[in-house]
Amino acid sequence: MHDRILYGYWRSSAVYRVRIALNLKGLDYQQRSVHLVNNGGEQHSTEFKRLNPNQLVPVLMDNGLALNQSLAIIDYLDETYSDVPLVPKSGELRYLVKAMAQDIAVDVHPLNNLRVLQYLSNELHVDEDAKSAWYKHWIATGFEALEQRISVTRGQYCVGNEISLVDVCLVPQMYNAQRFGVDLTSYPNLVDVTTSLGKVRAFIQAAPEHQPDAV
Ligand SMILES: N[C@@H](CCC(=O)N[C@@H](CS)C(=O)NCC(=O)O)C(=O)O
C-alpha cells in the first residue's frame, strides 16, 4: 500500500496548494497537523525540523521520501502521476503556466508569510496598521499584474479551460487576501476564475475549513 502523509496546517496556503494537487490527481493521503502558532509554532519543534530544517510546511512523506517546497512537491506529483497534468508537457503554455504560478508562489506569497509578519511585529516593532499596509501592498502588486495577464490567458480557468498549476496557486492566495481584508474589486478576472474553481470538488475538499485541524 502507498504510504502518503501530508504535514501541514489548515490555513497554510502552500499546504492548500498541495492538497488541491493531490485531490485533482485522485491520490489518497493522510494529514498530520503542524500547528503554526500553538506551542511557539510546532514547525520549530525538534521533531519537525528533522523532516524540514527550513521549519516550513508542507512536507509530503511519500513512501518514506520527505519532500518540501510545494511547487517541487507538485512537480514530483505531476511527473509521477501524469494522467491529470497540471503543467502542459511542452510548448509555450508550459512556460507560461510555470511563470504565472511562480508570480504568485515565489514573488507574492513569501513576503506575507507568517515568519515575515512576526518579524515585522516582534523585531521591527511595526504596528498593526503598518503591517496590514505591508500585507495589502504586496498582494496588490502581485494581483495587478496577474489580473492583466489572466485577462488575456483565461477561459473558464486561469489559462484556457483546463485546470493548471496557476489555478492551484491562485485559489489559496485569494483565500489569504480575503482573510486579510484585501479589496478585490479591481481584480474581476481573478474573482471570476476563483468562483469557477470554487465549484470543483478537488478545490472544495482542499479548502481550509474542510480540514480536520480547522477550528
Ligand atoms: N516556498 C515554500 C513556502 C512554505 C511556507 O511559507 N509555509 C508557511 C505556511 S504557508 C509556513 O510554514 N510558515 C511558518 C512560519 O512562517 O513560521 C513552499 O511553497 O512550500
Residue 48 belongs to domain with CATH number: 3.40.30.10
* 59, 160: one domain: no
Contact between residue 199 and residue 163 where contact means Cβ atoms under 8 Å apart = no
| CB-based pocket (< 6 A), ligand 1 | 12-14, 36, 41, 43, 56-58, 69-71, 105, 113-115
The Å distance, Cα 152 to ligand 1 centre, comes to 30
Position 15 scores a pLDDT of 98
Position 206 scores a pLDDT of 98
| Dihedral, CA of residue 211, residue 150, residue 133 and residue 108, to nearest 10 | 70
The Å distance, Cα 19 to ligand 1 centre, comes to 14
pLDDT < 50: residue spans in the chain: none
The Å distance, Cα 91 to ligand 1 centre, comes to 31
Distance CA 214, CA 204 (A): 14
The Å distance, Cα 57 to ligand 1 centre, comes to 5
Position 2 scores a pLDDT of 81
Residue 211, in any domain of the structure: no
Position 1 scores a pLDDT of 72
> Could you give the C-alpha distances from 201 to 8, 130, 137, 204, 207, in angstroms and in order?
20, 37, 32, 5, 10
**pLDDT tens digit string along 58-102?**
999 999 999 999 999 999 999 999 999 999 999 999 999 999 999
- The structural domain count of the chain equals 2
* 122, 60: one domain: no
Expressed as residue numbers, the domain containing 102 is 92-202
